[in-house]
Amino acid sequence: MYMYKVVGGQRLVGDICAGAAKNSALPVLAASLLSGGEVSIKLPDLSDVDDMLGILSCLGCRIKREDDIAVIDPSCADRWVMPEKLSKKIRSSIFMLGPILARNKNACFTYPGGCEIGLRPIDIHLSGLRQLGIDIEESSGMIHCRGNLIGARLHLDYPSVGATENLMMAGVLAKGETVIDNPATEPEIVDLARFLKSLGARIKGEGSSRIVIEGVKSLGSSAEVFCPISDRIVAGTLLAACAGCGGDIYVRDARAHDMTAIIHKLRQMGCQIIVSDGIRIRSSGELSSFRDIATYPHPGFPTDMQAQMAAIACVARGTSSITENVFENRFGYVNCLKKMGADISVHGRTAIIRGVKSLEGAKIEARDLRGGAALTIAALAAKGESEIGGVEYIDRGYSGFENMLSSLGADIKREICTKRCL
Ligand code: EPZ
Q: Is ligand 1 within 6 A of the CB of residue 304?
A: yes
The one-character DSSP state at 315 is T
pLDDT band at 113 (very low <50, low <70, confident <90, very high): low
Which of the listed residues 161, 167, 188 should we mutate to test ligand 1's pocket, taking the one with most ligand atoms within 8 A of CB? 161
φ, ψ for residue 4, nearest 5 deg? -100, 140
Q: Is ligand 1 within 6 A of the CB of residue 125?
A: yes
Q: Whose CA is nearest to atom 26 of ligand 1?
A: 120
Q: Is ligand 1 within 6 A of the CB of residue 94?
A: no
Q: Measured in angstroms, how far is the CA atom of residue 107 from the centroid of ligand 1?
A: 21
Residue 63 CA to residue 32 CA, distance in Å, equals 11
Q: Is ligand 1 within 6 A of the CB of residue 185?
A: no
In the predicted structure, residue 292 carries a pLDDT above the cut 60: yes
Q: Is ligand 1 within 6 A of the CB of residue 161?
A: yes
Q: Measured in angstroms, how far is the CA atom of residue 187 from the centroid of ligand 1?
A: 14
Closest atom of ligand 1 to 327 CA is 34
Q: Whose CA is nearest to atom 30 of ligand 1?
A: 121
**pTM score over 0.95:** yes
Of the chain, the percentage scoring pLDDT greater than 70 comes to 98
The predicted pLDDT at position 95 comes to: 87
Choice among 115, 145, 336, 417 that is catalytic: 115
The predicted pLDDT at position 406 comes to: 98
Q: Whose CA is nearest to atom 28 of ligand 1?
A: 304
Q: Write the pLDDT tens digit of every residue in 33-76.
A: 999 999 999 999 999 999 999 999 999 999 999 999 999 999 99
Average pLDDT, integer, range 342-356: 98
Q: Whose CA is nearest to atom 42 of ligand 1?
A: 160
The predicted pLDDT at position 119 comes to: 81
Q: Write the pLDDT tens digit of every residue in 201-228.
A: 999 999 999 999 999 999 999 889 999 9
Q: Write the pLDDT tens digit of every residue in 269-291.
A: 999 999 999 999 999 999 999 99
61 is catalytic: no
The one-character DSSP state at 416 is E
Q: Is ligand 1 within 6 A of the CB of residue 355?
A: no
Residue 130 CA to residue 152 CA, distance in Å, equals 10
Residue 119 CA to residue 323 CA, distance in Å, equals 18
The predicted pLDDT at position 158 comes to: 98
Residue 121 CA to residue 103 CA, distance in Å, equals 24
Residue 250 CA to residue 54 CA, distance in Å, equals 35
DSSP calls for 141-209: TEEEEES--B--EEE-SS--HHHHHHHHHHHHTSBSEEEEES----HHHHHHHHHHHHTT-EEE-TTSS
Q: Whose CA is nearest to atom 27 of ligand 1?
A: 120
Average pLDDT, the chain: 95
Q: Is ligand 1 within 6 A of the CB of residue 138?
A: no
Q: Whose CA is nearest to atom 9 of ligand 1?
A: 161
